[in-house]
Amino acid sequence: MKLVTFVQNGSTHIGALITRAGEERVVDFSQADPNLPKDMLGFLAGGKATLAVAQKAIDGGAESVTLSSVKLLAPIPHPGKIICIGLNYSDHAAETGQPIPKYPIIFTKYANTVIATGENVVLPRVTDQVDYEAELGFVIGKTAKYVSAAHALDYVAGYMPINDVSARDYQNRTSQWTMGKTFDTFAPMGPVLVTSDEIPNPNNLKISLTINGETLQDSNTDKLIFNVQQLIESISEVMTLEPGDIVSTGTPPGVGMARNPKRWMKAGDVVNITIEGLGTLSNPVVSE
């Protein structure tokens, strides 16, 4: 199922993106079945039982509206945690001159960074070194603590593309990357959250990024150093993961800072990230 958070007539709803008669349409869960949760975190926490209720409503012909009549928000507009992984592709580590990590490198973003597909990435006036990073993101579906890799995928609600936008000068000012990663609009995500039952193996998905139609990143998640299961095992040793928490798994090679000449994002660019089975996240770039 393709889960969405959207605005219609000034109100925020959750639902599913479906195709009927060759047209993309949105089912509003609050209209499809009044017993379904009204927010995405509640829906995810309901697990397989809630998904089954929603699927039954869709299969039963629940009313839908055209995709063009609503505005998509990020699937998780206000996540409790956004946990990001650095240097998680060996060839990306090599292009940045960094050693292969022995343990996952963790940093964070915050809810102020979250935007949806179609919304503007805003280039801050204090930097001219804003970079792109295509990443596979996954969302936690149930509380996870001390979860083994063998059982980790049971805790994943779904997957989506994420752009880990980074101001490289701010990122490299100190040994901690947070300031370069947390400007407003620096975490585009979506367009939808594809539920995990549709993605049996997240560790073998094509991932690519284009800017203005030019391919700058082109890889596969089978090249992750620490795969989805290993990341959940490592992170849940330290912190309790909760429904709606997001993990962004790292970027493949081809980032702007490693190019010669360097390729920073600029006003007027349109950045598209496509991941196999998950759709395309598309964002224009504007100056502050």
Residue 99 and residue 204 in one domain? yes
Residues in the chain, how many?
288
Residue 55 and residue 179 in one domain? no
Residue 14 and residue 66 in one domain? yes
Q: Give the pLDDT band (50/70/90) at residue 93.
A: confident
Give the pLDDT of residue 98. Answer: 84
Name every residue whose Cβ is closer than 8 Å to that of residue 272 and which is 6 or more positions away in sequence.
Answer: 209, 210, 211, 280, 281, 282
Give the pLDDT of residue 94. Answer: 83
Residue 52 and residue 30 in one domain? yes
Last residue of a domain, one of 25, 43, 73: 73
| Number of domains, the chain | 2
Question: Cβ atoms within 10 A of the Cβ of 66, count?
Answer: 10
Tens-digit pLDDT profile for residues 145-193: 999 999 999 999 999 999 999 999 999 999 999 999 999 999 999 999 9
Residue 251 and residue 225 in one domain? yes
Residue 22 and residue 154 in one domain? no
Residue 122 and residue 257 in one domain? yes
Last residue of a domain, one of 73, 98, 120: 73
Q: How far apart are CA 112 and CA 185, in angstroms?
A: 7
Residue 207 and residue 256 in one domain? yes
Residue 185 and residue 255 in one domain? yes
Residue of 105, 94, 86 whose CA lies nearest to 253: 94
Residue 193 and residue 53 in one domain? no
Is the pLDDT reported for residue 90 higher than 90?
no
The CATH number covering residue 114 comes to: 3.90.850.10
Is the pLDDT reported for residue 60 higher than 90?
yes
Residue 40, domain extent: 2-73
Mean pLDDT of the chain: 96
Give the pLDDT of residue 96. Answer: 82
Is the pLDDT reported for residue 29 higher than 90?
yes
Q: Is 0.85 surpassed by the pTM of this model?
A: yes
Residue 92 and residue 207 in one domain? yes
Tens-digit pLDDT profile for residues 115-150: 999 999 999 999 999 999 999 999 999 999 999 999
Last residue of a domain, one of 73, 105, 134: 73
What DSSP letter does each residue of 32-60 carry, written as one string? H-TTS-SSHHHHHHTHHHHHHHHHHHHHT
Is the pLDDT reported for residue 97 higher than 90?
no
Residue 201 and residue 68 in one domain? no
